[in-house]
Amino acid sequence: MSFSNLGLSDKVLAAVAATGYTTPTPIQEQAIPHVLARRDVLGIAQTGTGKTAAFVLPMLTLLEKGRARARMPRTLILEPTRELAAQVKENFDKYGAGQKLNVALLIGGVSFGDQDSKLTRGVDVLIATPGRLLDHTERGGLLLTGVELLVIDEADRMLDMGFIPDIERICKLVPFTRQTLFFTATMPPEISRISETFLHNPERVEVSRPATTATGVSQFKVNGGREPHEKRELLRRLLRDAKDLNNAIIFCNRKREVAVVHKSLQKHGFSVGALHGDMDQSARTAALDQFRKGEIPLLVASDVAARGLDIPAVSHVFNFDVPHHADDYVHRIGRTGRAGRAGTAISIVSPLDSKSLAAIERLIGQTIPTAEGDYAVHTETSEDSDQPREHRSREGSRGGRKPRREREPRAARDSDKRGDKSAEREPRHAKGTGRGARPQPEAGAFTPPAAAQPSRVPSIGRPEPRRAHREIESEPADHSHLPAFLLRPVRARV
């Protein structure tokens, strides 16, 4: 099958040829003819399958006829995060270079004025996050009554982020007769229900099982401590020991944990950026760009980075926290091993994670092996053990109090405010489990350290001989033991 058999216009075929793609991916092959035939489509496909081009290419073909009117976009694409919205815009820029279409991005964290003047000029393709889109409609600067085609992308992610009521409101603002394309990676019952509401007699196209992990990714778990500072120490050792580590994304479950881990790694001399939904848009874009360009090899991120972002060649993924949702595990480790490359995913598993881990292993249909090597947690007595020596002595003079960031992590900004709805929120399942509400582990629930277990898998690196706490404390503060690329300077952007 070639692209020329799908019914795309000559201009679009020329743009595809210019990118060097010769064969449509399965989702493109199946979905594009239906989109061009003006059918509703229910696409079950994960990111990485080429699903963006599966709607961008036929949209470009359909949009060649007709003109946009002021404040009345012709097509609308809804994305759960600003990064995904920006990525879809890049696809329009790439494939639509030969066409004079107006493509506008309505995302939070960017001034209303610029967005407004774009809307006034008339927009062929509007790519938006739900909160910011509704802000514009409520201000009267945007009419959705001219929308001929609506794309709801990453619907299951929208559900996780609590956006479904907004999507329902938006669907009432677009004409009933519109064409709708609905993409989701998984089909939980709630998504089935809303797809029946939003779609009219859709063509269903499905290209992969809802949740599978790439075969090229070696997965390991390491039993971590119950305390955050123990996990941070373990993470540093894993980073130092990791074999063939070129770059890595370190996932945390909470935004404030991202900030803490980011700061901690910086203090220990790692070249690291951060990405989470409470950062302002320019900081998010800058962190992602630096990581993509290889200027910073490490990125600490929340699940905002887990889905859809097209970051080629990530060698390692670390789960600082085991995700609460098994699906998120699949998405996170899907950041590595892309396009047939090898990758390594290592999860730090604390005694509290046993239920989440069991759900993940059920979903992926395999037991995640324990990494070989001495990754037993070295219990540190100093509350400041997470800090390099020079910081420890300074903080130590406060009479043993924890540093402020330990006692009181920066409170998450209210991302539920309308204007910032596109910012990632705490996932719904995390609500009510804030600071203080976390369940305490049962006495004796600690999992034996990896070192105490028989080794079943190849080593993930060069495990250091087990050292006593005192030796770690007296470790020199220089960072000569780190590979040079991990020491490249980076500006903090949190």
Enumerate binding residues for ligand AMP (CB under 6 A).
Answer: 21, 23-25, 28, 47-53, 310
Nearer to ligand AMP, 25 or 285 (CB): 25
CB of 79 to ligand AMP, least distance (A): 12
> Whole-angstrom Cα distance, residue 59 to residue 63?
6
Nearer to ligand AMP, 304 or 322 (CB): 304
104 close to 119: Cβ distance less than 8 angstroms: yes
Write the DSSP symbol of residue 372: B
Q: Mark out the alpha helices in 189-295 (DSSP H runs).
A: 189-198, 228-241, 255-267, 281-293
Nearer to ligand AMP, 27 or 104 (CB): 27
CB of 4 to ligand AMP, least distance (A): 13
> Whole-angstrom Cα distance, residue 326 to residue 321?
12
Nearer to ligand AMP, 47 or 385 (CB): 47
Nearer to ligand AMP, 292 or 410 (CB): 292
Nearer to ligand AMP, 24 or 202 (CB): 24
CB of 21 to ligand AMP, least distance (A): 4
CB of 464 to ligand AMP, least distance (A): 38
> Whole-angstrom Cα distance, residue 282 to residue 60?
29
CB of 323 to ligand AMP, least distance (A): 20
Q: Helix (H) and strand (E) counts for the chain?
A: 17, 13
Residues paired with residue 42 on neighbouring β-strands, in sequence order: 182, 204
Nearer to ligand AMP, 23 or 459 (CB): 23
R_g of the chain computed on alpha carbons: 24
> Whole-angstrom Cα distance, residue 147 to residue 93?
20
CB of 362 to ligand AMP, least distance (A): 26
CB of 161 to ligand AMP, least distance (A): 19
> Whole-angstrom Cα distance, residue 101 to residue 278?
32
Write the DSSP symbol of residue 432: T
CB of 109 to ligand AMP, least distance (A): 22
Q: State the residue for tokens 């804030």.
A: 434
Residue nearest to ligand AMP according to CB distances in the complex = 52
Other residues' Cβ atoms within 10 Å of the Cβ of residue 82 = 25
Write the DSSP symbol of residue 420: G
- Both ends of the chain: CA-CA distance in Å? 47
> Whole-angstrom Cα distance, residue 411 to residue 436?
13
Nearer to ligand AMP, 21 or 485 (CB): 21
> Whole-angstrom Cα distance, residue 143 to residue 138?
10
